[in-house]
Structure 1
Amino acid sequence: MRLVGIERHGTNLVEVADLSDDGKVTVVASLAEFWSDPAGHIARGGTEVLSGDAHEVRFVPPVLPGARVICIGLNYLKHVAEGSYRSEPLPEVPTLFARWSTSLTVDGDFIPVPSEEDGLDWEGEVMAWVGADLVDSTSDDALAAVIGYSTFNDITARRAQKVTSQWILGKNADRSGPVGPLVPAAEVGDLRDGLRITTRVNGNTVQDARTDDMVYTVGDTLAYISRTFTVRRGDLLATGTPSGVGYSRTPPWLLHPGDEVEVEVDRLGTLRNTIVENSFRSKT
């Protein structure tokens, strides 16, 4: 099962659908209905097969308007070592920052370079989707609440990110967060078993790591967050990127208009996006 968000032609209603490898779209539920009982809808599957093919719908992230996108920074030791934080001790708890859900987009979309950036940087990673509310949760219960995972690219505007110690501006450029289909957790297994993450730019491999190299696990991180605020059904957790990002290279290597960036994760699939000029920012 590969769950995506769709908008049918001529409507603004977002629905959750199962997208098959051959492009067949099977509607599961409306977005609100799906997130009212995500585990139940995944178990039941879809019933309405749309006529034609996937070109008759517009794909969007299957994300609730009020969902929080919580991101882990510095979650792979080699990534810490390559960046500007290598001289600092590793924090005992995860470094967290936020994305707005409006920064998310989908496979195949164009990613514009903001006007004050020399280019954009790639950060291939895994996104976890939360399917139940968490308050003062244990690590095991928090992990059990994850209903699925997606391939994610935390594309970053480095100049905006590095101007201050706060990262939010550089992590929320327009359409800078492409996320792949949601694959149910039962089909993915435990990230601690080590799924391979590979990022490629114009066919050249720039990141190659495994998820068992994470410092802070999904369960531990969600449990930690839940001791401060309620993690809600529909929230997302971006689990961090491994080493190989562009800004830490000599000379720095950034994404420019015309470049294609791919992130591939075992069992989750490949996410492909093309970088475009700033003039495309207002276009969908």
Structure 2
Amino acid sequence: MQFVGIDHCAESWAAALVDSRLFPLAPVAEFWTGPAGWQEKALTLTADAGPSLERGTVSEVPLVPASARVICVGLNYKAHVAEGSYKDQDLPAYPTLFGRWTASLSVGNVPVPVPAGEDGLDWEGEVAAYIGRRVESADEAEAVESVFGYSTFNDITARRAQKLTTQWTLGKNGDFTGPLGPMVSQDEVGDLRDGLQVRTRVNGTEVQNGNTRDMIFSIPAIISLISQTLTLHPGDVIATGTPEGVGYARTPQWLLQPGDTVEVEIDKLGTLTTPVGELSLRSLA
């Protein structure tokens, strides 16, 4: 089952996606109080059951509550560690974690602006995991059971801002730089350790082609580690890291410019498309 967020009744709602029809279920915050129950209801829907909307006639929004923590994993593929500025370092003993604010999130087909002062933006295609139940001090077996679904994600990065200090927050929170695709329920995706192919294309040219089986830290290990310190709640998101092929590590460097289009395609999760817009942060002020 697939779910998306939509702008409905003057607020953000969760909707089930059945073929090309959207069935509004509940406001996003309410959906995450019991996502399994809403999934059970959604499974009874058909294209002619209940009020529905044609996809494309309504605005889509991230299926993430405002209260969510969005925790991203950096350096989670060996080949990605080896290609960049961390190539001379040992593999990390623990995952490198950083946060995104929900205000930076977006959805497919929404233009992302190149911030003022940046030479361009970088792509990072990856899988996002959505927490579906409360997780506190969990072992890996409990952690894997907490995942409700997955989606495509592009951790679009302002590299100049990211590299100003050892803390990555600024470069990872540009406006509209965290697009998410529709969420696919865990039962349709399976275990990422079995392998999903992650491909990224820029203007039709493939720039990334990795597989989730090559992640250094698995989703259960990441969730378990996080839960030892902070309690995860339904609607929280874990972005699992990107494979090799990012733009800043290339010779010559390749960064996204206005007019470019990025596609992140992941097995079982679909394709997330993001255009790079003409706006800058300065012009948005």
Report the Cα offset of residue 282 of structure 1: 7.1
TM-score, scaled to structure 2: 0.95
2:6 aligned with 1:6: yes
Is 2:26 the counterpart of 1:29? yes
Aligned to 1:261: 262
- 3-state SS of 2:88 partner: coil
Matches for 1:1-284 after TM superposition, within 5 Å: 1-8=1-8, 11-21=9-19, 23-45=20-42, 48-51=50-53, 53-279=54-280
Which digits, 9 at most, give the CA deviation of each residue in 1:85-120, with x for residues without a partner?
111111211010000011010011101000110000
TM-score (norm 1): 0.95
Question: Counterparts of 2:70 and 2:266 in 1: how far apart (Å)?
Answer: 20
- Offset, 1:28: 2.1
Percent of aligned pairs with the same residue? Answer: 53
Distance 1:73 1:224, change over 3 A: same
Q: Is the 8 A contact 1:151 1:180 kept in 2?
A: yes
1:137/1:223 contact within 8 Å kept: yes
- Closer, same or farther: CA 27–259 of 1 in aligned 2, 3 Å: same
In structure 1, C-alpha distance between the alignment counterparts of 2:118 and 2:240, rounded to whole Å: 25
Q: CA RMSD in A?
A: 1.4
Residue 236 to residue 91, structure 1, CA distance change in 2 (3 Å): same
Give secondary structure in 2 for the equivalent of 1:128: strand
Equivalent-residue separation in structure 1 for 2:98 and 2:280 (angstroms): 28
CA offset at residue 236 of structure 1? 0.2
SS of equivalent residue, structure 1 residue 70: strand
Structure 1 residues 280, 50: closer, same or farther in 2, change over 3 A?
Answer: farther
**Would you say the 8 A contact 2:116–2:282 is kept in 1?**
no
**Counterpart code for 1:50:** S
Q: 1:37 to 1:281 in 2, by over 3 A?
A: farther
What SS does the corresponding residue of 2:133 show, helix, strand or coil?
coil
Q: Evaluate the alpha carbon distance shift between residue 282 and residue 218 of structure 1 in structure 2; reply closer, same or farther with a 3 A threshold.
A: farther
Aligned residue pair count: 279
**SS of alignment partner, residue 87 of structure 1:** coil
Q: Contact conserved, 2:130 with 2:237, CA < 8 A, in 1?
A: yes
- Give the letter aligned to residue 253 of structure 1: W
Does the 8 A contact of 1:115 with 1:278 survive in 2?
no
Structure 2 residues without counterparts, runs of 5 or longer? none
